[in-house]
Structure 1
Amino acid sequence: MTPETETELAQIVAGLSGPVSIVGGGTRGVAGSAPALDISRLTGIHLYEPGALTLVAAAGTPLAEVEAALDAEGQRLAFEPMDHRVLLGTSGAPTIGGVVAANVSGPRRVQAGACRDFLLGVRFVDGGGAVIKNGGRVMKNVTGYDLVKLMAGSWGTLGVLSEVSLKVLPKPEATQTLAIAVPDAERAVGPDAERAVGAMSDALGSPFEVSGAAYDPERGQVFARLEGFADSVAYRSARLSERLARWGDITRPEAPDLWSDIRDVRCFADRAGDVWRISCRPSDAPDLAQKAGADALLFDWGGDLIWALMAEGSDLRARLGGFDGHATLIRSDQETRAQLGMFHPQPAPLAAIQQALRTRFDPQGRFNPGLMG
């Protein structure tokens, strides 16, 4: 099933007799066993107004096409979406609809915000085959929902995206990265991780508008990124260096791919094992890193995000116990995913809300069954 228009998509959904797996570029490795509903032919940039910082595109439009159009006007997607292909060993082309459906956000999230913060509007087809636009369509059982926020991060379980509207931002004139030496004598646990999180928190808490803060224990370095006008970046870099000097020796690496490497977790790409994504409070990150007992770790978002490379089949959630956050299984074999589930189990009140939403928008449970519980 590969619709070429929104109307055709709605007709297909209305006529479904069973569940489907929604597929765009197929790069995130979440397609289930149900027949595929492929939206990769719903393509094209429908509207782009650089002066208004607004772009509207069909959900199946390749992300590369969107980024090329923006780059030609000196603009970008500020939330820096991750490309999962290297980490997961997948092929295909990421789509803008897939980015929105998974709320994919990279290192700049600590400053600019997540994908959902730049999402202005959506068009999607619900489980009954109705086309819903932006939440502005008045339907008795829809009024009151913030559909834009609901669709971002819903992983296709509430509806099939057909079009997204996004706010975009200008590209910076200059970028500078500071690297702070934080030796990893204890494999990112104990005082080293605490020191690294302290340095990242110090950078992000400064008035110097840091747009990225990450820690790679294997390199033994914390990275802090500054972006903007060249004179401003030079000034802020000098002042931030003075502020962070107490944490360790500071260098300015010339590594153009550094932040895309961090964004895409390329350091785990060719290494065996399961990959987990832990979302937590930075203050909890050192303790969780120690409990994980991971083969390798990578910290992003100032410690809000920990990537963990684990032995195959490891139940990381059991190791971590209860904490204020969640652990998502990003890469594993099918047996481990079937046993542990991709997403962290929700507390009962949130699970009830989630189920109520799915019942409202997809009452027959047709979209991506089993993906989010």
Structure 2
Amino acid sequence: MPETFIPSGITDVADAIRWAAAEGKPLSLHGHRSKAGLGRPAHLDNRQTEYALDLSRLSGVLEYEPAELVLTLRPGTLVSDVEKLLAASNQMLAFEPPDYGPLWGHAAGRGTIGGAIGCNLAGPRRFKAGAIRDHLLGFVAVSGRGEIFKAGAKVVKNVTGYDLPKLVCGAYGTLAALAEVTLKVLPAPEKTRTVLVFGLDDAKAAQAMAAAACSPHEVAGLAHLPEAIAALSGVAYVAKAGMAVTAIRVEGTDISVKARCEALRALLQSFGPLEELHSMNSAWLWREIRDASAFILPQERVLWRLSVAPMSGPAVTAAIRATQPGAAFFYDWAGGLVWLSLPPAQDAHAALVRGAVAAAGGGHATLIRADQAVRASVDVFQPQPEALAALSRRVKESFDPMNILNPGRMAAGL
């Protein structure tokens, strides 16, 4: 086990990183480790296992201005605690951060704001509201040199300087250790309903989701669950036996939601039988979609997350099923996000998956779950073209010239 530093403030973080940089000792950064199974293993060699920087004590809300829709807090704060705080003022994190901990066998509700930022996470509302990178206004952090620096501001309209908040989102802690973050929050919807269409195959479901997305009815969620996944979900009790389910979420005021659901039912009636989910049942369904709950078990199955053009998803899954008939999957983000579960394999079926994505027009394939040996030998993240990879290396060298912050977490040698 690595020796762990547990700082209680930003000065402690800077001291630990300055020491590590001077000694050439890499640090594994983490909070509650709910996403430790995501990315390349942090202990591929002895150099990477010697020391860890536990940021979980950097937690708590520093400033909350409901009238200004701005929240400043420390990165070790649990997402679940933030959501409770915001709910008391009828507000929300519009990017709908998922809770992926159970996908790796961890308890639910242990993900932190810092972890969500590091992984640039977003739930089903992503195609409408954006990811967390679109809601991070500013931060205070410590670079790999041990230097404390600030970026962004505590205001929504801020256009000065480089947009570093977007850069740290999805960096998996390889550029800086966050110590304070400021997020934009939004009012929570008064009502939520979900229109369900039953019995569509993948191609027809893509057409139905496209029709809803292109309509003037301002939908806030579009997902398709093939029959095997629908049987495991929150719609199982209302679903017709053996039928797939296509879900369209609508949010807003009571009158507006009711009118828009009626309009969507008229728009989609030619596709198949229709039903509606209201309030708690609707929330339950979208929480399961958000967290990919259908794929929590069995843990030994390989899990991929594919980002593709919405209409090309059915072609990707069809190509994969032709070789792997045991593949299970569902679609989110109007079909632009495909969750894919496959049997275990030494290469996690990487060539098959990335080949299918490329053949369907391109996209990104991220290996979400596999054992450590597989994640050490396979590109967990979509391989970058050489020019982009060179740019990534230069950015890393600018923030962390000694390569001590989560080295190797995203790519070998970084």
Scaled to the shorter chain, the TM-score interval is over 0.9
8 Å Cα contact 2:302/2:370 also seen in 1 = yes
Match of 2:339 in 1: 307
Query: Secondary structure at the residue paired with 1:233?
Result: helix
Which whole-Å CA distance do the structure 2 matches of 1:109 and 1:215 have between them?
15
Cα distance in 2 for partners of 1:296, 1:304 equals 16
Where 2:6 maps in the other structure, the secondary structure is coil
Alpha-carbon distance in structure 2 between the residues aligned to 1:216 and 1:266: 12
Distance 1:251 1:65 in 2: 33
Tell me how far apart the structure 2 counterparts of residues 135 and 54 of structure 1 sit (CA, whole Å).
Answer: 13
1:79 aligns with 2:86: no
Query: For residues 235 and 125 of structure 1, what CA distance do their matches in structure 2 show?
Result: 50
Q: Shift of the alpha carbon at 1:146?
A: 1.6
C-alpha RMSD over aligned residues: 1.6
Does structure 1 residue 206 correspond to structure 2 residue 209?
Answer: no
Q: Which moved more, 1:266-275 or 1:232-241?
A: 266-275
Residue 306 (structure 2) pairs with residue 278 (structure 1): yes
Alignment of 1:298 with 2:330, yes or no, is: yes
Question: Match of 1:345, SS?
Answer: coil
Report SS of the residue matched to 1:52: coil
Gaps of 5+ in 1: 137-142, 184-191
Q: Which residue of 2 aligns with 1:46?
A: 62
Deviates more, 1:22-31 or 1:324-333: 22-31
1:227 alignment partner AA: E
Counting aligned pairs with the same residue, the percent is: 40
> Structure 1 residue 241 and structure 2 residue 279: aligned?
no
Contact kept, 8 Å, 1:103 with 1:115, in 2: the verdict is yes
In 2, Cα distance between equivalents of 1:239 and 1:300: 22
> In structure 1, how many angstroms separate the alpha carbons of the residues matched to 2:18 and 2:7?
13
Matched, 1:90 2:123: no
Amino acid at match of 2:12: E
- The 5-angstrom pairing of residues 112-261 of structure 1 reads 112-134=129-151, 145-183=162-200, 192-217=201-226, 218=228, 219=230, 220-253=244-277, 255=281, 256-261=283-288
Q: Deviations over 1:55-80 (max 9, x none)?
A: 00001111122111111111110010
Per-residue CA deviation, residues 116-148 of structure 1 (Å, 9 max, x unaligned), is 111100111110001111158xxxxxx963211
Structure 2 CA distance for aligned equivalents of residues 70 and 353 of structure 1: 38
Matched-pair contact (CA < 8 Å) for 2:305–2:365: yes
Q: Is the 8 A contact 2:302 2:348 kept in 1?
A: no
- Equivalent residue, structure 2, for 1:20: 27
Q: Which consecutive aligned stretches of 4+ in structure 1 deviate over 3 angstroms post-superposition? A: 314-317
CA contact (8 A) 2:137 2:152 kept: no
Letter in 1 for 2:193: Q
Q: CA deviation at 1:11?
A: 0.7
Q: Is the 8 A contact 1:182 1:195 kept in 2?
A: no
Q: Give distance in 2, aligned partners of 1:88 and 1:215.
A: 24
Q: Which residue of 1 aligns with 2:81?
A: 65
Distance in 2 of aligned mates of 1:370 and 1:266: 28
Cα displacement (A) at 1:253:
3.1
SS in 1 for 2:269: helix
Amino acid at match of 2:28: S
Question: Are the equivalent residues in 1 in contact too, given 2:320–2:327 (CA < 8 A)?
Answer: no
Asked whether 1:262 is paired with 2:289, we answer: yes
* Cα pair 1:342 1:371 within 8 Å, conserved: no
Q: Deviations over 1:143-194 (max 9, x none)?
A: 96321110111111111111110000111110000111134xxxxxxxx211
Residues 1:172 and 1:144: Cα distance change in structure 2 (over 3 Å): closer
Amino acid paired to 2:351: A
| Letter of the structure 2 residue corresponding to residue 76 of structure 1 | M
TM-score, normalised with respect to structure 2: 0.84
1:356 to 390, 394, 398: 394
Question: Could you tell me which amino acid in structure 2 is paired with residue 152 of structure 1?
Answer: C
Deviation at 1:209, TM superposition (A): 0.7
Corresponding position: 1:327 with 2:372: no
1:318 aligns to what? Answer: 351
